[in-house]
C-alpha cells in the first residue's frame, strides 16, 4: 500500500513472551509458570500498589506533565539535579522519545547484534540506517572495540544494553573507559540499565551514572526490581539540555498519574527490593547449580535471567513446546538472532524447581 513507507511495511514488530492467558487457553491448563519476560516473580512492590489504589480516585484529572515529584525523588536518590532526570512510559517509551528527538535525515544508529529487541524494533521503524556489530565470538559479550571502529561521520546514536538482554553479559568498567575515549562527543551513547539493580554489586560493573559524560543517557526502569512493568514507567539521566529536549517530545501526559504515584512509592520500598534481590540470588544459584549438573552450556548472567545455548534450533523448539504443555513459559531466542538459545527468568523457588524437573525429563 503506497501510504505505508517501505521501512514500516518491512518492519517485524516486537514479539513479546507468550501470555499466561494465551497458554492456559491453548493447552487447557490451570497453573502456569511464566519465566519468559524478566518480570519480578514476587509481584509488584506493595507500597506501589497501595499508592496506585489511593491515586485511583484522582484519575479524572490529567497527570502532572512534568512529573516533578517523581523526578525530584529520583534526583535525590541518585544524587543528580531534577533537570537531569527524564521520565516516560517505560524506559522503552523514553528510548522512542530519544530517537524522535535526536535523529535527523542522514543520522545513523549503531549497536551490537543480539541485544534488546525493543531497540531493534524502534530503530528499524525509522528511515535512518542502523548498523549492528557482531558480538565477540561465542563469549556473548559486546565487542566494544568493533563498535567504536564502526563509528562514521553520520553516526548519531549508539545503543548499549548493560547487562545485555538476552545474554546477561556485561562490559566492564575498563572496557567502558577505553570505549568512551574513542567516541566523539557529537555521538549520543544510550546506556540501557534496565537490570542495573541486579548487576550493581559486581565490582566490574560500570554504573554509568558515576561518569557524567555530556553525551551519555542512562536509562532505568520500574518494570523489573520494583515489579510494576504493567504501570509503564521508566526514567533516564542525562545532561540537562538533553533532558529538556527529550521531555519536549514525550507525550504530554506520560507517565500516567497512577504510574507516577506507584513509582514514587516504590522508591521507598527498600524492604521489597531487598527481598527481590534475595529471592533472585537464591534462585540464580539453584538454577545454575542444576544447569552445571546437567552439563548445559549456560552463560553467567548479571541479570534476573539466564541464557542457555542448546546448540540447535530443533532442540530449543522441542524443549519449548514440551515445557509449554506443562504450563512453563520460557523465551526461545530466535527473534533475537539466537535460534539455538533460550532465556529463562529466575523465578520463585517453586517455579524454578518445576522448570528444572521438566527440563531434566526432556533432556
Shortest CB 1 distance to ligand PLP, Å:
30
Q: CB-wise, 118 or 283, nearer to ligand PLP? A: 118
Residue 165 · residue 115 · CB < 8 Å? yes
Kindly determine how many residues on this chain lie close enough to bind ligand PLP according to the rule CB under 6 A: 14
CA angle, residues 59, 60, 65, in degrees to nearest 5: 70
Shortest CB 113 distance to ligand PLP, Å:
15
Among 52, 80, 135, 229, binds ligand PLP (CB under 6 A): 229
DSSP E strands in 177-303: the ranges are 188-192, 216-221, 234-237, 297-299
The residues in 76-115 that bind ligand PLP, with binding defined as CB under 6 A, are 90-92
Q: CB-wise, 117 or 356, nearer to ligand PLP? A: 117
Q: Does residue number 128 form part of the binding site for ligand PLP (CB under 6 A)?
A: no
Among 97, 218, 223, 320, binds ligand PLP (CB under 6 A): 223
CA angle, residues 197, 201, 204, in degrees to nearest 5: 115
Q: Does residue number 38 form part of the binding site for ligand PLP (CB under 6 A)?
A: yes
What sections of 182-269 are H helices per DSSP?
A: 196-199, 240-249, 257-266
Give burial (CB, 10 Å; 0-12/13-18/19+) of 269: buried
Phi, then psi, of 211 in degrees rounded to 5:
-80, -35
Q: CB-wise, 90 or 283, nearer to ligand PLP? A: 90
Q: Does residue number 161 form part of the binding site for ligand PLP (CB under 6 A)?
A: yes
Q: Does residue number 255 form part of the binding site for ligand PLP (CB under 6 A)?
A: no
Q: 116: closest CA among 160, 147, 149?
A: 160
CA distance 147 to 50: 44
Q: Does residue number 279 form part of the binding site for ligand PLP (CB under 6 A)?
A: no
Q: Does residue number 221 form part of the binding site for ligand PLP (CB under 6 A)?
A: yes
Q: How many CB atoms lie within 10 A of CB 252?
A: 9
Shortest CB 192 distance to ligand PLP, Å:
5
Q: 358: closest CA among 332, 309, 313, 321?
A: 321
Name, in order, each residue with C-beta under 8 angstroms of 230's C-beta and a sequence gap of 6 or more.
none
Residue nearest ligand PLP (C-beta atom):
90
CA distance 251 to 245: 12
Q: How many CB atoms lie within 10 A of CB 40?
A: 23
Q: Does residue number 208 form part of the binding site for ligand PLP (CB under 6 A)?
A: no
Q: Provide the 8-state DSSP code for 44.
A: S
Q: CB-wise, 92 or 175, nearer to ligand PLP? A: 92
Q: Does residue number 35 form part of the binding site for ligand PLP (CB under 6 A)?
A: no
Q: Does residue number 194 form part of the binding site for ligand PLP (CB under 6 A)?
A: yes
Shortest CB 166 distance to ligand PLP, Å:
8
Name the one range near ligand PLP by CB under 6 A: 40-48, 205-213, 221-229, 306-314: 221-229
Q: CB-wise, 234 or 327, nearer to ligand PLP? A: 234
Please give the residue ranges that form the binding site for ligand PLP (CB under 6 A). 38, 90-92, 116, 118, 161, 165, 192, 194, 221, 223, 229, 234
Amino acid at each position: 500500500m503506497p501510504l505505508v513507507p517501505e521501512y514500516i511495511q518491512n518492519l517485524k514488530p516486537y514479539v513479546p513472551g507468550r501470555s499466561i492467558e494465551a497458554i492456559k487457553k491453548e493447552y487447557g491448563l490451570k497453573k502456569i509458570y511464566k519465566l519468559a519476560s524478566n518480570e519480578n516473580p514476587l509481584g509488584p512492590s506493595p507500597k506501589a500498589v497501595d499508592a496506585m489504589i489511593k491515586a485511583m480516585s484522582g484519575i479524572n484529572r490529567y497527570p502532572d506533565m512534568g512529573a516533578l515529584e517523581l523526578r525530584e525523588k529520583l534526583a535525590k536518590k541518585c544524587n543528580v539535579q531534577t533537570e537531569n532526570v527524564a521520565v516516560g512510559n517505560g524506559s522503552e517509551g523514553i528510548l522512542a522519545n530519544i530517537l524522535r528527538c535526536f535523529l535527523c535525515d542522514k543520522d545513523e544508529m549503531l549497536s551490537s547484534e543480539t541485544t534488546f529487541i525493543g531497540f531493534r524494533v524502534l530503530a528499524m521503524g525509522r528511515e535512518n540506517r542502523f548498523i549492528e556489530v557482531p558480538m565477540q565470538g561465542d563469549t556473548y559479550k559486546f565487542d566494544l572495540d568493533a563498535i567504536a571502529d564502526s563509528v562514521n561521520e553520520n553516526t548519531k546514536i549508539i545503543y548499549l544494553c548493560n547487562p545485555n538482554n538476552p545474554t546477561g553479559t556485561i562490559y566492564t568498567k575498563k572496557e567502558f573507559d577505553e570505549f568512551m575515549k574513542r567516541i566523539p562527543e557529537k555521538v549520543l551513547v544510550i546506556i540501557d540499565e534496565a537490570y542495573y539493580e541486579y548487576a550493581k554489586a559486581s565490582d566490574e560493573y560500570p554504573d554509568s551514572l558515576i561518569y557524567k559524560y555530556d553525551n551519555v543517557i542512562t536509562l532505568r526502569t520500574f518494570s523489573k526490581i520494583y515489579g510494576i512493568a504493567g504501570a509503564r514507567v521508566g526514567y533516564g539521566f542525562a545532561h540537562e539540555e538533553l533532558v529538556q529536549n527529550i521531555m519536549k517530545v514525550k507525550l504530554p501526559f506520560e507517565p500516567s498519574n497512577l504510574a507516577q504515584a506507584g513509582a514514587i512509592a516504590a522508591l521507598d520500598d527498600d524492604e521489597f527490593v531487598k527481598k527481590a534481590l534475595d529471592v533472585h540470588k537464591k534462585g540464580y544459584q539453584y538454577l545454575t547449580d542444576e544447569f552445571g549438573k546437567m552439563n548445559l552450556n549456560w552463560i553467567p548472567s548479571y541479570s534476573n535471567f539466564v541464557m542457555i545455548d542448546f546448540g540447535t534450533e530443533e532442540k530449543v523448539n522441542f524443549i519449548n513446546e514440551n515445557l509449554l504443555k506443562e504450563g512453563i513459559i520460557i523465551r526461545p531466542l530466535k527473534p533475537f538472532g539466537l535460534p539455538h538459545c533460550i532465556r529463562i527468568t529466575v523465578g520463585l523457588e517453586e517455579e524454578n524447581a518445576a522448570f528444572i524437573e521438566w527440563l531434566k525429563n526432556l533432556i
